[in-house]
Structure 1
Protein backbone atom coordinates (compact mmCIF):
# COMPACT_ATOMS: atom_id res chain seq x y z
CA UNK A 1 0.00 0.00 0.00
CA UNK A 2 1.43 3.38 -0.91
CA UNK A 3 0.89 6.49 1.16
CA UNK A 4 0.11 9.81 -0.44
CA UNK A 5 0.32 13.27 1.07
CA UNK A 6 -3.43 13.08 1.66
CA UNK A 7 -3.09 10.13 4.07
CA UNK A 8 -4.95 10.62 7.36
CA UNK A 9 -2.96 11.63 10.39
CA UNK A 10 -1.28 14.51 12.13
CA UNK A 11 0.11 17.43 10.21
CA UNK A 12 3.70 18.47 10.60
CA UNK A 13 5.73 21.18 8.88
CA UNK A 14 2.90 21.75 6.46
CA UNK A 15 2.64 18.12 5.38
CA UNK A 16 0.43 15.23 6.39
CA UNK A 17 2.04 12.49 8.42
CA UNK A 18 3.09 9.27 6.76
CA UNK A 19 2.28 6.45 9.20
CA UNK A 20 3.42 2.85 9.08
CA UNK A 21 1.87 0.19 11.31
CA UNK A 22 4.11 -2.39 12.99
CA UNK A 23 2.81 -5.50 14.76
CA UNK A 24 5.47 -7.14 16.95
CA UNK A 25 5.09 -10.89 17.48
CA UNK A 26 7.07 -13.70 19.09
CA UNK A 27 6.32 -17.32 19.89
CA UNK A 28 7.62 -17.26 23.47
CA UNK A 29 4.69 -16.65 25.83
CA UNK A 30 4.32 -18.18 29.27
CA UNK A 31 0.52 -18.31 29.59
CA UNK A 32 -0.29 -19.19 25.98
CA UNK A 33 2.75 -20.59 24.17
CA UNK A 34 2.98 -19.95 20.41
CA UNK A 35 -0.09 -17.74 20.61
CA UNK A 36 0.57 -15.75 17.39
CA UNK A 37 -0.06 -19.00 15.49
CA UNK A 38 -3.22 -19.97 17.44
CA UNK A 39 -6.10 -20.63 15.06
CA UNK A 40 -8.93 -18.09 14.97
CA UNK A 41 -11.44 -18.46 12.18
CA UNK A 42 -9.16 -20.73 10.18
CA UNK A 43 -6.11 -18.44 10.21
CA UNK A 44 -3.37 -17.71 12.75
CA UNK A 45 -4.14 -14.99 15.30
CA UNK A 46 -1.33 -12.81 13.96
CA UNK A 47 -3.08 -12.80 10.57
CA UNK A 48 -6.30 -11.63 12.24
CA UNK A 49 -4.39 -8.76 13.86
CA UNK A 50 -2.73 -7.90 10.54
CA UNK A 51 -6.19 -7.77 8.94
CA UNK A 52 -7.51 -5.37 11.60
CA UNK A 53 -4.51 -3.12 11.01
CA UNK A 54 -5.04 -3.23 7.26
CA UNK A 55 -8.73 -2.32 7.77
CA UNK A 56 -7.60 0.86 9.57
CA UNK A 57 -6.23 1.98 6.18
CA UNK A 58 -3.68 4.48 7.49
CA UNK A 59 -0.55 3.10 5.85
CA UNK A 60 1.47 -0.05 5.17
CA UNK A 61 1.28 -2.79 7.79
CA UNK A 62 4.24 -5.00 8.69
CA UNK A 63 4.55 -7.78 11.20
CA UNK A 64 7.84 -7.58 13.11
CA UNK A 65 8.42 -11.30 13.63
CA UNK A 66 10.87 -12.84 16.07
CA UNK A 67 10.67 -16.21 14.31
CA UNK A 68 10.51 -17.41 10.73
CA UNK A 69 7.29 -19.35 11.42
CA UNK A 70 5.42 -16.13 12.16
CA UNK A 71 6.82 -14.38 9.10
CA UNK A 72 5.82 -17.30 6.88
CA UNK A 73 2.27 -17.35 8.26
CA UNK A 74 1.86 -13.67 7.47
CA UNK A 75 3.32 -13.84 3.97
CA UNK A 76 1.14 -16.87 3.13
CA UNK A 77 -1.88 -14.70 3.97
CA UNK A 78 -0.67 -11.97 1.62
CA UNK A 79 0.89 -9.78 4.28
CA UNK A 80 4.36 -8.40 4.75
CA UNK A 81 6.71 -9.38 7.58
CA UNK A 82 10.17 -8.34 8.70
CA UNK A 83 12.26 -10.90 10.55
CA UNK A 84 13.93 -9.41 13.63
CA UNK A 85 16.40 -10.55 16.25
CA UNK A 86 14.63 -13.01 18.57
CA UNK A 87 15.94 -11.62 21.85
CA UNK A 88 14.56 -8.07 21.98
CA UNK A 89 13.50 -7.08 25.52
CA UNK A 90 10.28 -5.41 24.34
CA UNK A 91 7.94 -4.90 21.43
CA UNK A 92 9.18 -1.33 21.10
CA UNK A 93 12.72 -2.55 20.45
CA UNK A 94 11.40 -5.08 17.95
CA UNK A 95 9.41 -2.56 15.93
CA UNK A 96 12.36 -0.14 15.95
CA UNK A 97 14.57 -2.75 14.32
CA UNK A 98 11.83 -3.64 11.84
CA UNK A 99 11.03 -0.08 10.76
CA UNK A 100 14.75 0.73 10.48
CA UNK A 101 15.15 -2.24 8.13
CA UNK A 102 11.98 -1.54 6.15
CA UNK A 103 12.46 2.21 5.84
CA UNK A 104 16.09 3.24 6.38
CA UNK A 105 15.46 6.51 4.51
CA UNK A 106 12.88 7.64 7.07
CA UNK A 107 10.04 8.16 4.59
CA UNK A 108 7.47 7.21 7.24
CA UNK A 109 7.53 9.60 10.17
CA UNK A 110 4.94 7.98 12.47
CA UNK A 111 5.19 4.39 13.70
CA UNK A 112 2.02 2.82 15.10
CA UNK A 113 2.67 -0.13 17.41
CA UNK A 114 -0.26 -2.58 17.46
CA UNK A 115 0.12 -5.51 19.84
CA UNK A 116 0.00 -8.90 18.16
CA UNK A 117 -2.58 -10.33 20.55
CA UNK A 118 -5.53 -8.05 19.70
CA UNK A 119 -7.46 -9.97 17.02
CA UNK A 120 -10.79 -8.24 17.80
CA UNK A 121 -9.34 -4.72 17.77
CA UNK A 122 -11.61 -2.10 16.21
CA UNK A 123 -9.68 -0.58 13.27
CA UNK A 124 -11.15 2.80 14.25
CA UNK A 125 -9.10 2.63 17.45
CA UNK A 126 -5.91 2.46 15.39
CA UNK A 127 -6.98 5.58 13.53
CA UNK A 128 -7.87 7.29 16.81
CA UNK A 129 -4.32 6.82 18.08
CA UNK A 130 -3.14 9.36 15.52
CA UNK A 131 -5.37 12.17 16.86
CA UNK A 132 -3.07 13.40 19.64
CA UNK A 133 -0.22 13.81 17.16
CA UNK A 134 -2.09 16.74 15.64
CA UNK A 135 -0.23 18.68 18.36
CA UNK A 136 3.43 18.91 17.27
CA UNK A 137 4.51 18.97 20.93
CA UNK A 138 3.34 15.38 21.44
CA UNK A 139 6.03 12.68 21.14
CA UNK A 140 3.89 9.58 21.68
CA UNK A 141 0.14 8.99 21.42
CA UNK A 142 -1.85 6.22 23.04
CA UNK A 143 -5.42 5.22 23.91
CA UNK A 144 -7.66 4.88 26.96
CA UNK A 145 -11.28 4.07 27.74
CA UNK A 146 -13.40 5.04 30.73
CA UNK A 147 -13.65 2.14 33.18
CA UNK A 148 -17.25 0.97 33.53
CA UNK A 149 -16.70 -2.21 35.57
CA UNK A 150 -16.06 -1.50 39.26
CA UNK A 151 -13.83 -4.55 39.70
CA UNK A 152 -11.30 -3.18 37.21
CA UNK A 153 -10.43 -0.19 39.38
CA UNK A 154 -8.51 -2.20 41.99
CA UNK A 155 -7.27 -4.84 39.53
CA UNK A 156 -3.47 -4.45 39.13
CA UNK A 157 -3.66 -6.10 35.71
CA UNK A 158 -5.72 -3.14 34.49
CA UNK A 159 -3.37 -0.22 33.97
CA UNK A 160 -4.86 3.14 34.81
CA UNK A 161 -3.94 6.29 32.91
CA UNK A 162 -3.87 9.55 34.84
CA UNK A 163 -4.48 12.31 32.32
CA UNK A 164 -5.39 15.97 32.15
CA UNK A 165 -8.50 15.99 29.98
CA UNK A 166 -10.48 19.13 29.20
CA UNK A 167 -14.14 18.87 30.11
CA UNK A 168 -15.94 17.18 27.24
CA UNK A 169 -12.68 16.59 25.39
CA UNK A 170 -11.53 13.30 23.88
CA UNK A 171 -7.76 13.89 23.96
CA UNK A 172 -5.48 14.98 26.76
CA UNK A 173 -2.03 14.82 28.26
CA UNK A 174 -0.99 11.71 30.15
CA UNK A 175 0.67 12.54 33.46
CA UNK A 176 1.20 9.03 34.85
CA UNK A 177 0.33 5.36 34.41
CA UNK A 178 -0.19 3.02 37.33
CA UNK A 179 -1.57 -0.35 38.39
CA UNK A 180 -3.24 1.19 41.42
CA UNK A 181 -6.55 3.10 41.59
CA UNK A 182 -5.68 6.66 40.57
CA UNK A 183 -6.36 9.52 40.70
CA UNK A 184 -8.24 9.95 43.97
CA UNK A 185 -11.42 12.00 44.30
CA UNK A 186 -14.61 12.04 42.28
CA UNK A 187 -14.40 11.31 38.58
CA UNK A 188 -13.82 8.53 36.08
CA UNK A 189 -10.91 6.12 35.96
CA UNK A 190 -9.22 5.47 32.64
CA UNK A 191 -8.24 2.00 31.41
CA UNK A 192 -5.01 2.38 29.44
CA UNK A 193 -4.88 0.54 26.12
CA UNK A 194 -1.35 -0.39 25.11
CA UNK A 195 -1.43 0.79 21.51
CA UNK A 196 1.05 3.54 20.67
CA UNK A 197 1.75 5.95 17.83
CA UNK A 198 5.33 7.21 17.99
CA UNK A 199 6.90 9.99 16.05
CA UNK A 200 9.82 8.27 14.35
CA UNK A 201 12.41 10.34 16.22
CA UNK A 202 10.62 9.69 19.53
CA UNK A 203 10.75 5.93 18.99
CA UNK A 204 14.48 6.07 18.27
CA UNK A 205 15.05 8.14 21.42
CA UNK A 206 12.84 5.91 23.55
CA UNK A 207 14.55 2.61 22.74
CA UNK A 208 17.97 4.20 23.38
CA UNK A 209 17.01 5.17 26.95
CA UNK A 210 17.79 2.94 29.94
CA UNK A 211 14.87 1.63 32.00
CA UNK A 212 13.59 4.14 34.57
CA UNK A 213 13.18 3.44 38.28
CA UNK A 214 9.41 3.86 38.19
CA UNK A 215 9.22 1.72 35.05
CA UNK A 216 10.90 -1.12 36.94
CA UNK A 217 8.71 -0.57 40.00
CA UNK A 218 5.36 -0.50 38.15
CA UNK A 219 6.52 -2.77 35.33
CA UNK A 220 5.19 -0.24 32.82
CA UNK A 221 7.49 0.63 29.93
CA UNK A 222 5.75 3.91 29.09
CA UNK A 223 6.98 5.42 32.37
CA UNK A 224 10.47 5.49 30.85
CA UNK A 225 9.25 8.09 28.37
CA UNK A 226 7.61 10.26 31.04
CA UNK A 227 10.63 10.02 33.33
CA UNK A 228 12.80 11.42 30.53
CA UNK A 229 10.55 14.37 29.69
CA UNK A 230 8.81 12.90 26.67
CA UNK A 231 5.22 13.93 26.18
CA UNK A 232 2.51 11.28 25.89
CA UNK A 233 -1.06 12.27 25.03
CA UNK A 234 -4.01 9.92 24.85
CA UNK A 235 -7.21 9.67 22.87
CA UNK A 236 -10.39 8.31 24.43
CA UNK A 237 -12.14 5.42 22.71
CA UNK A 238 -15.37 3.65 23.61
CA UNK A 239 -14.19 0.12 24.31
CA UNK A 240 -11.15 -1.85 25.44
CA UNK A 241 -10.04 -4.52 22.95
CA UNK A 242 -9.70 -8.10 24.13
CA UNK A 243 -6.09 -9.04 24.71
CA UNK A 244 -5.50 -12.77 24.23
CA UNK A 245 -3.26 -14.04 27.04
CA UNK A 246 -4.89 -17.32 28.11
CA UNK A 247 -6.75 -20.25 26.54
CA UNK A 248 -10.01 -18.74 27.85
CA UNK A 249 -9.22 -15.44 26.10
CA UNK A 250 -8.54 -17.36 22.90
CA UNK A 251 -11.93 -19.07 23.05
CA UNK A 252 -13.64 -15.74 23.65
CA UNK A 253 -11.86 -14.19 20.65
CA UNK A 254 -12.99 -17.09 18.49
CA UNK A 255 -16.57 -16.56 19.61
CA UNK A 256 -16.42 -12.81 18.99
CA UNK A 257 -15.14 -13.23 15.44
CA UNK A 258 -17.31 -16.21 14.53
CA UNK A 259 -19.84 -15.30 11.87
CA UNK A 260 -18.33 -11.87 11.20
CA UNK A 261 -16.71 -12.94 7.95
CA UNK A 262 -13.28 -12.18 9.36
Structure 2
Protein backbone atom coordinates (compact mmCIF):
# COMPACT_ATOMS: atom_id res chain seq x y z
CA UNK A 1 0.00 0.00 0.00
CA UNK A 2 2.74 2.46 -0.92
CA UNK A 3 0.49 4.94 -2.79
CA UNK A 4 -1.05 7.48 -0.43
CA UNK A 5 -4.74 7.90 -1.09
CA UNK A 6 -7.48 9.75 0.81
CA UNK A 7 -9.60 7.93 3.40
CA UNK A 8 -12.50 5.94 1.98
CA UNK A 9 -15.29 3.59 2.94
CA UNK A 10 -16.37 0.47 1.07
CA UNK A 11 -19.98 -0.60 0.70
CA UNK A 12 -20.73 -4.06 -0.66
CA UNK A 13 -24.29 -4.46 -1.98
CA UNK A 14 -25.36 -8.06 -1.42
CA UNK A 15 -28.68 -9.07 -2.92
CA UNK A 16 -29.85 -12.50 -1.81
CA UNK A 17 -32.44 -13.11 -4.53
CA UNK A 18 -30.09 -13.29 -7.52
CA UNK A 19 -32.00 -14.58 -10.53
CA UNK A 20 -29.08 -16.49 -12.04
CA UNK A 21 -27.59 -17.79 -8.78
CA UNK A 22 -30.13 -17.73 -5.91
CA UNK A 23 -28.59 -17.12 -2.52
CA UNK A 24 -25.38 -15.94 -4.20
CA UNK A 25 -23.85 -14.06 -1.23
CA UNK A 26 -23.91 -17.27 0.81
CA UNK A 27 -22.44 -19.47 -1.93
CA UNK A 28 -19.44 -21.35 -0.60
CA UNK A 29 -16.03 -21.09 -2.25
CA UNK A 30 -13.56 -23.54 -0.75
CA UNK A 31 -15.47 -23.57 2.53
CA UNK A 32 -15.95 -19.80 2.90
CA UNK A 33 -18.97 -17.78 1.81
CA UNK A 34 -18.59 -15.38 -1.08
CA UNK A 35 -19.70 -12.38 0.95
CA UNK A 36 -17.12 -13.01 3.68
CA UNK A 37 -14.40 -13.19 1.05
CA UNK A 38 -15.45 -9.87 -0.48
CA UNK A 39 -15.64 -8.15 2.92
CA UNK A 40 -12.16 -9.38 3.81
CA UNK A 41 -10.72 -7.92 0.58
CA UNK A 42 -12.27 -4.55 1.37
CA UNK A 43 -10.79 -4.52 4.86
CA UNK A 44 -7.36 -5.49 3.51
CA UNK A 45 -7.49 -2.49 1.13
CA UNK A 46 -7.45 -0.15 4.12
CA UNK A 47 -11.06 1.05 4.13
CA UNK A 48 -11.98 3.19 7.12
CA UNK A 49 -15.29 1.32 7.21
CA UNK A 50 -16.58 -1.78 5.44
CA UNK A 51 -20.36 -1.96 5.15
CA UNK A 52 -22.33 -4.82 3.64
CA UNK A 53 -25.71 -3.56 2.42
CA UNK A 54 -28.04 -6.54 2.63
CA UNK A 55 -31.70 -7.22 1.87
CA UNK A 56 -32.02 -10.54 3.69
CA UNK A 57 -31.43 -11.48 7.31
CA UNK A 58 -29.66 -14.67 6.23
CA UNK A 59 -26.82 -12.62 4.76
CA UNK A 60 -26.65 -10.48 7.90
CA UNK A 61 -26.44 -13.61 10.03
CA UNK A 62 -23.60 -14.95 7.88
CA UNK A 63 -21.55 -11.83 8.62
CA UNK A 64 -21.80 -12.12 12.39
CA UNK A 65 -18.38 -12.79 13.82
CA UNK A 66 -16.51 -11.02 11.01
CA UNK A 67 -15.22 -8.52 13.53
CA UNK A 68 -15.76 -4.82 14.17
CA UNK A 69 -14.32 -3.87 10.81
CA UNK A 70 -17.42 -5.16 8.99
CA UNK A 71 -20.78 -3.46 9.54
CA UNK A 72 -24.15 -4.58 8.23
CA UNK A 73 -26.86 -2.27 6.91
CA UNK A 74 -30.29 -3.77 6.28
CA UNK A 75 -31.68 -2.06 3.19
CA UNK A 76 -35.01 -2.17 1.39
CA UNK A 77 -35.97 -4.86 -1.08
CA UNK A 78 -37.28 -2.29 -3.59
CA UNK A 79 -33.93 -1.05 -4.91
CA UNK A 80 -33.34 -1.37 -8.65
CA UNK A 81 -29.54 -1.29 -8.42
CA UNK A 82 -26.59 -1.66 -6.10
CA UNK A 83 -25.95 2.08 -6.11
CA UNK A 84 -29.46 2.71 -4.81
CA UNK A 85 -28.77 0.29 -1.96
CA UNK A 86 -25.46 2.02 -1.22
CA UNK A 87 -27.13 5.43 -1.17
CA UNK A 88 -29.47 4.17 1.54
CA UNK A 89 -26.42 3.01 3.48
CA UNK A 90 -24.81 6.45 3.15
CA UNK A 91 -27.91 8.03 4.63
CA UNK A 92 -28.11 5.40 7.37
CA UNK A 93 -24.57 6.16 8.55
CA UNK A 94 -24.85 9.90 7.89
CA UNK A 95 -21.65 10.18 5.84
CA UNK A 96 -20.73 13.76 4.85
CA UNK A 97 -21.08 14.64 1.16
CA UNK A 98 -17.30 14.59 0.59
CA UNK A 99 -16.86 11.02 1.88
CA UNK A 100 -15.32 8.76 -0.78
CA UNK A 101 -17.49 5.68 -1.13
CA UNK A 102 -16.37 2.59 -3.02
CA UNK A 103 -19.04 0.31 -4.46
CA UNK A 104 -17.47 -3.16 -4.44
CA UNK A 105 -19.76 -5.74 -5.97
CA UNK A 106 -20.74 -8.62 -3.71
CA UNK A 107 -19.79 -11.13 -6.41
CA UNK A 108 -16.11 -10.09 -6.64
CA UNK A 109 -14.52 -12.41 -4.04
CA UNK A 110 -11.07 -12.13 -5.63
CA UNK A 111 -10.95 -8.35 -6.09
CA UNK A 112 -7.28 -7.34 -5.72
CA UNK A 113 -6.47 -4.91 -2.94
CA UNK A 114 -4.50 -2.77 -5.43
CA UNK A 115 -7.60 -2.51 -7.62
CA UNK A 116 -9.80 -1.30 -4.78
CA UNK A 117 -7.26 1.38 -3.94
CA UNK A 118 -6.80 2.28 -7.61
CA UNK A 119 -10.44 3.27 -8.06
CA UNK A 120 -10.14 5.60 -5.04
CA UNK A 121 -7.02 7.12 -6.58
CA UNK A 122 -8.78 7.52 -9.94
CA UNK A 123 -11.60 9.50 -8.34
CA UNK A 124 -9.24 11.66 -6.28
CA UNK A 125 -7.18 12.53 -9.39
CA UNK A 126 -10.17 13.46 -11.56
CA UNK A 127 -12.84 16.13 -11.55
CA UNK A 128 -15.35 13.50 -12.71
CA UNK A 129 -17.89 12.71 -9.97
CA UNK A 130 -17.53 8.96 -10.47
CA UNK A 131 -14.68 6.54 -11.28
CA UNK A 132 -14.38 2.90 -12.27
CA UNK A 133 -11.83 0.38 -13.56
CA UNK A 134 -11.23 -1.67 -16.67
CA UNK A 135 -8.88 -4.38 -17.88
CA UNK A 136 -7.87 -5.69 -21.29
CA UNK A 137 -9.89 -8.23 -23.26
CA UNK A 138 -7.66 -10.88 -24.74
CA UNK A 139 -9.98 -13.31 -26.50
CA UNK A 140 -12.76 -13.26 -29.07
CA UNK A 141 -14.91 -15.37 -26.75
CA UNK A 142 -14.69 -12.74 -24.02
CA UNK A 143 -15.43 -9.90 -26.44
CA UNK A 144 -18.59 -11.54 -27.76
CA UNK A 145 -19.84 -12.70 -24.34
CA UNK A 146 -22.84 -10.51 -23.35
CA UNK A 147 -22.08 -11.17 -19.68
CA UNK A 148 -18.77 -9.33 -20.15
CA UNK A 149 -19.42 -5.58 -20.12
CA UNK A 150 -17.23 -3.58 -22.47
CA UNK A 151 -16.20 0.06 -22.06
CA UNK A 152 -14.99 2.57 -24.64
CA UNK A 153 -12.83 5.49 -23.49
CA UNK A 154 -12.28 9.00 -24.76
CA UNK A 155 -8.79 10.45 -25.17
CA UNK A 156 -8.94 11.87 -21.64
CA UNK A 157 -9.72 8.46 -20.17
CA UNK A 158 -13.37 9.14 -19.48
CA UNK A 159 -16.01 6.64 -20.46
CA UNK A 160 -17.80 7.18 -23.76
CA UNK A 161 -20.06 4.14 -23.48
CA UNK A 162 -20.57 0.81 -21.76
CA UNK A 163 -22.16 -2.12 -23.55
CA UNK A 164 -22.74 -5.84 -23.45
CA UNK A 165 -22.13 -5.82 -27.20
CA UNK A 166 -18.61 -6.02 -28.69
CA UNK A 167 -17.48 -2.40 -28.86
CA UNK A 168 -15.74 -0.77 -30.56
CA UNK A 169 -16.57 -2.68 -33.74
CA UNK A 170 -13.54 -2.96 -36.05
CA UNK A 171 -15.48 -2.99 -39.30
CA UNK A 172 -12.78 -4.04 -41.74
CA UNK A 173 -11.05 -6.53 -39.48
CA UNK A 174 -14.28 -8.31 -38.54
CA UNK A 175 -15.45 -8.28 -42.14
CA UNK A 176 -12.42 -10.44 -42.87
CA UNK A 177 -12.58 -12.74 -39.82
CA UNK A 178 -14.03 -12.91 -36.33
CA UNK A 179 -11.83 -15.80 -35.24
CA UNK A 180 -9.25 -13.54 -33.60
CA UNK A 181 -8.95 -10.04 -32.19
CA UNK A 182 -7.31 -7.39 -34.38
CA UNK A 183 -3.98 -6.38 -32.89
CA UNK A 184 -4.49 -2.64 -33.23
CA UNK A 185 -7.68 -2.39 -31.14
CA UNK A 186 -7.49 -2.14 -27.36
CA UNK A 187 -10.70 -3.77 -26.16
CA UNK A 188 -11.53 -3.18 -22.50
CA UNK A 189 -13.64 -5.20 -20.09
CA UNK A 190 -15.40 -3.07 -17.51
CA UNK A 191 -14.80 -4.06 -13.91
CA UNK A 192 -17.86 -3.45 -11.77
CA UNK A 193 -16.23 -1.39 -9.05
CA UNK A 194 -17.02 2.32 -8.58
CA UNK A 195 -15.93 5.22 -6.43
CA UNK A 196 -17.92 8.37 -5.84
CA UNK A 197 -18.38 10.96 -3.15
CA UNK A 198 -21.41 10.50 -0.95
CA UNK A 199 -23.03 13.71 -2.17
CA UNK A 200 -22.95 12.60 -5.80
CA UNK A 201 -24.03 9.10 -4.82
CA UNK A 202 -27.19 10.52 -3.26
CA UNK A 203 -27.80 12.64 -6.36
CA UNK A 204 -27.19 9.70 -8.69
CA UNK A 205 -29.57 7.41 -6.82
CA UNK A 206 -32.31 10.05 -7.08
CA UNK A 207 -31.99 10.34 -10.88
CA UNK A 208 -34.69 8.63 -12.95
CA UNK A 209 -33.65 5.47 -14.74
CA UNK A 210 -32.81 6.02 -18.39
CA UNK A 211 -33.61 4.22 -21.67
CA UNK A 212 -30.10 2.89 -22.29
CA UNK A 213 -29.78 1.78 -18.67
CA UNK A 214 -32.92 -0.30 -19.12
CA UNK A 215 -31.93 -1.64 -22.55
CA UNK A 216 -28.45 -2.79 -21.52
CA UNK A 217 -29.28 -3.43 -17.84
CA UNK A 218 -26.24 -1.35 -16.86
CA UNK A 219 -26.77 1.24 -14.15
CA UNK A 220 -23.64 3.24 -15.02
CA UNK A 221 -25.34 4.32 -18.24
CA UNK A 222 -27.74 6.33 -16.08
CA UNK A 223 -24.85 8.63 -15.14
CA UNK A 224 -23.71 9.06 -18.77
CA UNK A 225 -27.24 9.67 -20.06
CA UNK A 226 -27.74 12.40 -17.47
CA UNK A 227 -24.50 14.08 -18.54
CA UNK A 228 -22.15 13.02 -15.73
CA UNK A 229 -18.59 11.95 -16.53
CA UNK A 230 -17.08 8.65 -15.37
CA UNK A 231 -13.29 8.41 -15.06
CA UNK A 232 -11.90 5.04 -16.18
CA UNK A 233 -8.52 3.68 -15.10
CA UNK A 234 -6.93 0.40 -16.14
CA UNK A 235 -6.61 -1.82 -13.08
CA UNK A 236 -3.03 -2.33 -11.85
CA UNK A 237 -3.80 -6.01 -11.25
CA UNK A 238 -6.13 -8.44 -12.97
CA UNK A 239 -9.63 -8.89 -11.57
CA UNK A 240 -10.76 -12.49 -11.96
CA UNK A 241 -14.30 -12.45 -13.42
CA UNK A 242 -17.18 -11.94 -11.00
CA UNK A 243 -19.52 -14.78 -10.15
CA UNK A 244 -22.98 -14.73 -11.73
CA UNK A 245 -23.80 -18.37 -12.45
CA UNK A 246 -23.26 -21.89 -11.13
CA UNK A 247 -20.62 -22.37 -13.83
CA UNK A 248 -18.80 -19.26 -12.59
CA UNK A 249 -18.91 -20.68 -9.07
CA UNK A 250 -17.33 -23.92 -10.26
CA UNK A 251 -14.57 -21.97 -11.98
CA UNK A 252 -14.01 -20.00 -8.76
CA UNK A 253 -13.55 -23.24 -6.83
CA UNK A 254 -10.99 -24.37 -9.40
CA UNK A 255 -9.24 -20.99 -9.21
CA UNK A 256 -8.93 -21.19 -5.40
CA UNK A 257 -7.56 -24.72 -5.74
CA UNK A 258 -4.85 -23.34 -8.04
CA UNK A 259 -4.31 -20.24 -5.88
CA UNK A 260 -4.64 -21.45 -2.27
CA UNK A 261 -3.52 -18.11 -0.81
CA UNK A 262 -6.42 -16.26 -2.50
Contact 1:120 1:257 in 2 (8 A): no
Once residues 260 and 48 of structure 2 are traced to their aligned partners in structure 1, the CA distance between those partners, rounded to angstroms, is: 24
| Structure 1 equivalent of residue 101 of structure 2 | 111
| Structure 1 equivalent of residue 239 of structure 2 | 240
- Equivalent in 121, 127, 146 of residue 136 of structure 2: 146
| Secondary structure at the counterpart of residue 131 of structure 2 | strand
CA deviations on 1:101-138 (whole Å, 9 max, x unpaired) are 12x15176111001111112212111111122133511
Alignment gaps of 5+ in structure 1: 1-6, 10-16, 167-171
| Structure 1 equivalent of residue 174 of structure 2 | none
Q: Closer, same or farther in 2 for the Cα pair 1:206/1:105, shift >3 Å?
A: closer
Once residues 15 and 165 of structure 2 are traced to their aligned partners in structure 1, the CA distance between those partners, rounded to angstroms, is: 29
Q: Closer, same or farther in 2 for the Cα pair 1:224/1:69, shift >3 Å?
A: same
Once residues 118 and 188 of structure 1 are traced to their aligned partners in structure 2, the CA distance between those partners, rounded to angstroms, is: 24
Once residues 135 and 72 of structure 1 are traced to their aligned partners in structure 2, the CA distance between those partners, rounded to angstroms, is: 38
Q: TM-score, normalised by structure 1?
A: 0.86
Once residues 240 and 140 of structure 1 are traced to their aligned partners in structure 2, the CA distance between those partners, rounded to angstroms, is: 20
| Structure 1 equivalent of residue 260 of structure 2 | 260
Q: Closer, same or farther in 2 for the Cα pair 1:213/1:105, shift >3 Å?
A: closer
CA deviations on 1:45-97 (whole Å, 9 max, x unpaired) are 10011011111113211111111111121122223211111221111111111
Q: How does 1:1-262 map to 2 (within 5 A)?
A: 8-9=4-5, 17-78=6-67, 79-102=70-93, 104-106=94-96, 109-165=99-155, 172-185=157-170, 186-237=184-235, 238-258=237-257, 260-261=260-261
Deviating 4+ runs (over 4 angstroms)? none
Q: TM-score, normalised by structure 2?
A: 0.86
| Structure 2 equivalent of residue 14 of structure 1 | none
Contact 1:120 1:256 in 2 (8 A): no
| Secondary structure at the counterpart of residue 141 of structure 2 | helix
Q: Closer, same or farther in 2 for the Cα pair 1:156/1:208, shift >3 Å?
A: same
Deviation of 1:22 after TM superposition, in Å, equals 0.2
How many pairs align? 243
Contact 1:62 1:82 in 2 (8 A): yes
Contact 1:8 1:58 in 2 (8 A): no
Contact 2:97 2:200 in 1 (8 A): no
Deviation of 1:194 after TM superposition, in Å, equals 1.0
Once residues 126 and 37 of structure 2 are traced to their aligned partners in structure 1, the CA distance between those partners, rounded to angstroms, is: 32
Alignment gaps of 5+ in structure 2: 171-183
Once residues 144 and 65 of structure 2 are traced to their aligned partners in structure 1, the CA distance between those partners, rounded to angstroms, is: 43
| Secondary structure at the counterpart of residue 64 of structure 1 | strand
| Secondary structure at the counterpart of residue 64 of structure 2 | helix
Give RMSD over aligned pairs. Answer: 2.0
